[in-house]
Structure 1
């Protein structure tokens, strides 16, 4: 019989697992301050619509757009040249019969095409629906499934693609029976004469629909108005003191909220230079990010947290680059939970190139809030008072947030709960989805983000997504905290680690922790011995520092870790794949390698969990024979001996089995076996 986890940890000489603190901050008396934080008053946007913003940027003739292509070449376009191009696209869309309010799906992989079609939609009052362009229209993929599903969900609207994609898309539609397909290309739309009769958009007119990154099924369509996007741009101008003299660099796809709203549209509002580079081109060679920053004297950029650690890992490759990064003044870190260690590795690696050590601004946001809407400054060196969570700062002007419990009651500062927000940049709801809207919005107008967080001194600390909490035996553990712990080890490649709650048995009373990771080549290829060492190091570190033992250690290839377009790991997909049996072979291989109890046939052992009652002595029926299986850790051997002594004292018989390099009968009550060797199991039973 298995002893409860806490009893086992004490007898094995491990520290007891910390229970969740009453307060998320873990220090000081309970606060009586409500967990409510509001940003300063918002200065009204300086234009009333996005058509006005584009016209103003064109007339100023200061900023421009630099398109970086997959071969590294650059194409520079002025805002003034975008106006006639968008006006021709507008004319082409009107010729196709579109009216204000109609939706247009964008399938443009060339950024020049994307922006021309986007602005043609804006000038005509059409609703742009940017979607990820599949790598191929001939091969099944999540992006392809979503394209078809969203096209049908929206009532089969027009699709505009880049010219090189048209033939493959038409072939796909013919093969899969897309009735009523209306498809054209950006080039075809550009052939129309300019139309200067721009639609007079009102602030509450719908402008964009962005798709949430749902892991299964169809994502929800987030509705964003001119007012939503304008006020978010005005707020960051006001808070971060941005202006036409800034130079921004973005390498996230324009179909993502950060690419199109947080960067492109904001920069049109400012009238500044903006640079857009392909995501894959940067990830193939991360130092290219700073090559561009140096060449263009970039002042503003951003990335999800994983990318900062990724660049720092290549420090030996850019030591002699000669960059000058001193113009940089704002590096936003958002899109996933911020891990301070990764962010500081980035700051320290680039310090020799003049990167100011106070440029890192952690923030929080989502498609439903028009991207980032909080702002903090990460100190270049850790503060002694820092905890496991990083401040994402205070709200932007015109924005507010609060923390509530499961009943909707506002919590006190320092207490963790659900993050709710409101403000002029918050979506009015999801398209044609009353169920999701009823779930997301409270009766008093707050939007429930699905994130878990707490406030301290008005600043936001994200602890994770509600769906990313792993509850083992009643104790909450956060996926990102476990992942950060694992990625401190040299055994794994960073940004491919996922901590996921699974249940191998649907009737199990508690979650189990499955750890997915990509081993560094020297541990995955050097031989079983090194791999086993790496696995034990990973499990031991998580057990010691987090206080939970991984039930499954699963080394995977990098391409087996599903990610969104901006590199966020899709844990829900991994959980579903695990529970569908996709990783059974990897699990079996790891268990054999480590010689866990799971390598023993099911008929040989049945784990039983019982509540620990130290005050009641063990009772064992006379003559009952118990087999105690102990892994390779000496602390576990000590625990096994203590369990055996207790069982014998209660009148039972007991045999202890430990693992080793060969079978051995140590004495009448102790045996050593090789867990993966069937012959050793047979010898044990015979004796």
Structure 2
């Protein structure tokens, strides 16, 4: 029997009611062996997914009970095509019910889901197609599901890849449901491949097993978010092709029987206030965003009648946390009932499924202001020597999750004391099995004692981790360790015409020395105004950071971003060296 009801079905909006907040069943915090087992339990209650348009109109109410039925049918359809357990199914991840049906269909069928990005963050069709084809090839996918929004690009995406199936969700759902048995899903089985947001030139899929995925969502629900027995509800615009959206606000809620109100990622930047409106009218309690999401919301005043008093965990993740943006947001929406103590800092990455640490709940953002000169020259995070000394404020990202470990080490592998910057290592049951079909890269990342080198730098402070940046982005000038985000944030904060993510800073080899380059998105068109911005920026870097910087102005929207909206300095540097941005200083490639 076909019980499929697509989100595109004709529905009377007046009669369509959202899935309720409370499941009506005893809360379980992800204590299941597999994701199918978790959905089997969630299907016994009333919770589920509500799919909204970018304008906040309810398009589909999908209780977990109905999702389970539809997912099983979808999994059988995939197996009926000749796919075998362990085969990979790439899903271009729109935030809708079709993605949920296909993702969980793969879970029931023993197939390995590989969520792929939408083109929202890519600079043009060709760059997007190249990235997508690279991910499909890296995953060794046998089938690719392409949503209606880019259905016209299907041939460009899949041509020559030799797939068993390539088509839209509607085409998949039109297939017959065969009368065959589903396989037994074991905890050690591979659940999905997560392509990290930086996976562009050489995509590497992170292997997340049923067991490691369940370990992380259980820790997030029980120890991180401390999900309550009743009345918690999630509201999310986060992309389902990124670990924060997929694990944090798709898998975790299902495994602890929470309802989620989902908005399309591709429309968030145009209508960020819809996110807040949904939290208000549905009494959402749990919602996350990178810093830039809060910044977009704070650009306009609180709407009349907006009530954010139910929002108890306003999480920040996915990028370096910018405290001043959160301060502006808290001030802007205090009149709407927002409590700044709801801000929740956390740290994580796809290689650990998602979460590694959470700050204590209900304490707001805790910061540590350090002497920038000492940090750069000695790698020590100490208080500024004077009120006028250059300083940098970092956010404390909490203690490592139970049953996991975290250490900060020096180059020789020694564990460092508090306030000494080193490389962050983690281990625990949430760690990936490795990079898919990349044994050499896996060995580089995970040592024989199962410690993962995160590639991040940071320091410990009273049991909490403070992240200072990515090791690969660090700029070394005359013995100083300079973090590019320090320069980027200074420009974006001090120069009134600049916005968040308008500046990309990196270094280049020039002779025997390194040269710092800042690419700045400029909206001005007159030569005088452009030259004024260039001069002001160079002077600012010299005055606040004591470094000479070659400032290059680029058009708006020219700086590359990852699929999750983060600035990618490595790609910006490559584009600069290839002559995409003109004019440019004479430099030698590193």
- d(CA) in 2 for partners of 1:381 and 1:428? 33
Q: Is the 8 A contact 2:284 2:311 kept in 1?
A: yes
Alignment of 1:141-540 (within 5 A): 141-162=126-147, 165-166=150-151, 168-170=153-155, 173-174=158-159, 177-180=160-163, 182-191=165-174, 192-193=176-177, 197-214=181-198, 216-239=200-223, 240-243=225-228, 245-312=231-298, 314-315=299-300, 318-376=301-359, 379=364, 388-503=393-508, 505=510, 508-519=511-522, 521=523, 524-525=524-525, 527-540=526-539
Match of 2:13 in 1: none
Q: 1:400 to 1:468 in 2, by over 3 A?
A: same
Q: Is the 8 A contact 1:504 1:579 kept in 2?
A: no
- d(CA) in 1 for partners of 2:149 and 2:531? 48
Match of 1:121 in 2: 106
Superposed displacement of residue 100, structure 1 = 1.6
1:248-303 Cα shifts (integer Å, max 9, x gaps): 11112111111111110100011111011112311012222212211211111111
2:83 pairs with 1:78? no
Superposed displacement of residue 168, structure 1 = 3.6
Q: State the structure with more CA Rg.
A: 1
Q: Is the 8 A contact 2:76 2:182 kept in 1?
A: no
- d(CA) in 2 for partners of 1:547 and 1:474? 13
Classify the secondary structure of the residue corresponding to 2:394: coil
- d(CA) in 1 for partners of 2:331 and 2:424? 32
Q: 1:509 to 1:50 in 2, by over 3 A?
A: same
Higher deviation after alignment, 392-401 or 458-467: 392-401
Superposed displacement of residue 170, structure 1 = 3.2
Match of 2:379 in 1: none
1:39-92 Cα shifts (integer Å, max 9, x gaps): xxxx9942222112112111012x221112245422222111111111110110
Match of 1:666 in 2: none
- d(CA) in 1 for partners of 2:477 and 2:422? 19
Q: Is the 8 A contact 1:156 1:181 kept in 2?
A: no
Note the residue ranges of structure 1 that are not aligned, 5 or more in a row. 1-42, 589-597, 603-687
Q: 2:84 aligns with which of 99, 104, 107?
A: 99
Superposed displacement of residue 162, structure 1 = 3.1
Classify the secondary structure of the residue corresponding to 1:548: coil
Q: Is the 8 A contact 2:80 2:178 kept in 1?
A: no
Q: 1:335 to 1:381 in 2, by over 3 A?
A: closer
Q: 1:411 to 1:380 in 2, by over 3 A?
A: closer
Classify the secondary structure of the residue corresponding to 2:557: helix
Superposed displacement of residue 305, structure 1 = 1.7
Match of 1:661 in 2: none
Q: 1:337 to 1:530 in 2, by over 3 A?
A: same
Superposed displacement of residue 134, structure 1 = 3.9
- d(CA) in 2 for partners of 1:45 and 1:571? 37
Q: Is the 8 A contact 1:107 1:160 kept in 2?
A: yes
Q: 2:74 aligns with which of 72, 77, 89?
A: 89
Superposed displacement of residue 374, structure 1 = 1.0
Tell me the TM-score normalized by structure 1: 0.73
Q: 1:499 to 1:170 in 2, by over 3 A?
A: closer
Q: 1:132 aligns with which of 105, 114, 117?
A: 117
Q: 1:573 aligns with which of 568, 571, 574?
A: 571
- d(CA) in 2 for partners of 1:108 and 1:236? 23
Q: Is the 8 A contact 2:541 2:548 kept in 1?
A: yes
- d(CA) in 2 for partners of 1:446 and 1:148? 31
Note the residue ranges of structure 2 that are not aligned, 5 or more in a row. 1-27, 371-382, 384-391
- d(CA) in 2 for partners of 1:248 and 1:460? 26
- d(CA) in 2 for partners of 1:311 and 1:71? 15
Q: Is the 8 A contact 1:503 1:579 kept in 2?
A: no
1:341-366 Cα shifts (integer Å, max 9, x gaps): 11211112111110111011111111
Q: 1:489 to 1:331 in 2, by over 3 A?
A: same
- d(CA) in 2 for partners of 1:273 and 1:155? 33
- d(CA) in 1 for partners of 2:95 and 2:424? 37
Q: 2:53 aligns with which of 61, 69, 89?
A: 69
1:481-533 Cα shifts (integer Å, max 9, x gaps): 2211111124333222334223263xx223222112234x5xx24x4444433
Q: Is the 8 A contact 1:215 1:570 kept in 2?
A: no
Higher relative contact order (CA 8 A, sep 6+): 1
- d(CA) in 2 for partners of 1:445 and 1:389? 29
Higher deviation after alignment, 139-148 or 331-340: 139-148
- d(CA) in 2 for partners of 1:266 and 1:438? 29
- d(CA) in 1 for partners of 2:232 and 2:334? 21
Tell me the TM-score normalized by structure 2: 0.84
1:282-334 Cα shifts (integer Å, max 9, x gaps): 1012222212211211111111122222322x13xx34432100000101111
The count of corresponding residues between Structure 1 and Structure 2 is 533
Match of 2:374 in 1: none
Higher deviation after alignment, 72-81 or 328-337: 72-81
Q: Is the 8 A contact 1:88 1:189 kept in 2?
A: no
Match of 2:34 in 1: 49
Classify the secondary structure of the residue corresponding to 1:503: strand
- d(CA) in 1 for partners of 2:455 and 2:120? 30
- d(CA) in 1 for partners of 2:578 and 2:400? 41
RMSD of aligned residue pairs (Cα, Å): 2.7
